[in-house]
Amino acid sequence: MLLASPQATRWLDDDTHRLFLAEDARRQFAFFRHSLRADGGFHQLDVDGTPRPTQVQELHATTRMIHSFALGKLAGLDKGDDMIAHGLSYLGAGHHDAQYGGYIWARDGKDISDGRKLAYGHVFVLLAAASAHAAGHSTALGLLDQADQVLTQRFWEEDHGLFADEWNRDWTPFSSYRGMNANMHGVEALLAAFEATGRKHFLKRAGRILSFFMDTIAPQYDWRIPEHYTADWQVDPAYAGDPMFRPAGHTPGHSVEWARLWLQYGALTGTDVEDGARKIVYRALHDAWDESRGGGLIYTLDFDGQPAIRDRYWWPVTEAIGVLAALLKTGGTAEDEAWYHKMWQFADAHLIDHNQGGWFPELDDDNRPKARQFAGKPDIYHALQADILPLLPERANIYDGLRALIPPKL
């Protein structure tokens, strides 16, 4: 299948490109349907779609599956209801902590393998609930209310206007760590909750988080956004946690994700944030595009803006696609269009699994799939949004846009 018509310049309006996006989304849904577990929750999948032997189920994976199939239902790309209901059931039976409240991070079969209470996981509960509610699931609004209550009582720091990160299972202190990532996905979830319910406190909180990172932090660091902070929200340049989930320095993939969310907030509030968002996007693209290996975006930079972890994963490319599509929907520039083409050409050539469905999560130096940090295909969430967001007619309410979408047909 062609990525776009040979004569097309503006791909967002090109019928061939739109058909390509819809078909890749459909193939992703078909692939990840294999993850459904008869005994509750979802399997982790190998690259061929067979269940991996592990029994571990993590909160972010469960919630992202719910969110993704809700988007598919709204867009008319997958019926979705069975997967959404299955995931919601496991959130209650598997992840919800009936003893202490909130949601545990991970189970290994029937056993709790990681009982921590993480803001990162709880904001994804809010996101899943918002999307399931928008898709018409009757229990989702109660889940949204519950997630909002836990986030407010346990994680939200009103003085700072930001989310703290982590507690032990019984809500005793775990660490004083503060992080950018949980707050970035917090903005994503808060905007979704606002779009699903119209409740303005969600939008207000998203704005406060964005103000700190976009208006205060990003300009101080040459439009890069540090990952890690102290308990009083000072940048912590010495912090080096897990090299996969809490790497030191800056993560360009997160920068483009932030910029997309900022543009979404701007569209919802009528605020002009395009100039700042564009500075963040092009700082990240120019820093991270790996021309020497034929493309892709390197994972992290140090505080001097030099490459640190040079691994290339699928998700930064998907997020770059999402923000470039958002910029193009405001009119865009020739440079935006060229980068949008470049990202999709790289993804089509090296990341999309045209045989099995889904995207390969990481590449070796020769742009072949490898499995070092990621086993199998971790989730549908990032790549699906790269397919769906460019199809939307405008940047305002995503759920309304999905409902109005008439998917291209084969």
> For residues 218-238, b (16+ Cβ closer than 10 Å) or e, as one string?
beeeebbbbbbbeeebebbee
* pLDDT band at 396; cut points 50, 70, 90: low
Give dist(CA 354, CA 9) in Å, integer: 24
Q: What is the pLDDT of residue 409?
A: 67
- Please check the confidence at residue 372 and state whether its pLDDT lies above 90: no
Residue 222 gets which letter from DSSP? T
Token pair recorded at residue 396: 């305002």
Considering the candidates 95, 250, 254, 350, report the single residue annotated as catalytic: 254
Mean pLDDT score, 311-315: 98
In this prediction the pTM is 0.98
**pLDDT classification of 243: cutoffs 50, 70, 90:** confident
Structure tokens at 322: 């999402």
Listing DSSP states for 160-188 in one string gives TTEE--EE-TTS-B----EEHHHHHHHHH
- For the question of residue 286 being annotated catalytic, the response is no
Burial class of residue 167, CB neighbours in 10 A (0-12, 13-18, 19+) = buried
Confidence (pLDDT) at 1: 75
Residue 382: active-site member? yes
Mean pLDDT within 168-191: 97
Domains in the chain, CATH or no CATH each: 11-404 (1.50.10.10)
- The answer, yes or no, to whether residue 332 has pLDDT greater than 60, is yes
Give per-residue pLDDT as tens, 81-126: 999 999 999 999 999 999 999 999 999 999 999 999 999 999 999 9
Residue 251's SS3 state is coil
- Between CA 293 and CA 309 the distance in angstroms is 14
pLDDT tens string 122-146: 999 999 999 999 999 999 999 999 9
Average pLDDT, the chain: 96
Beta carbons within 10 angstroms of residue 291's beta carbon:
7
Distance (Å, whole) CA 303 – CA 310: 15
Whether 395 shows a pLDDT value over 90: the answer reads no
Which of 17, 60, 95, 382 is labelled catalytic? 382
Express each pLDDT in 32-75 by its tens digit: 999 999 999 999 999 999 999 999 999 999 999 999 999 999 99
User: Is the dihedral angle over the CA atoms 96, 97, 101, 105 positive or is it negative?
Assistant: negative
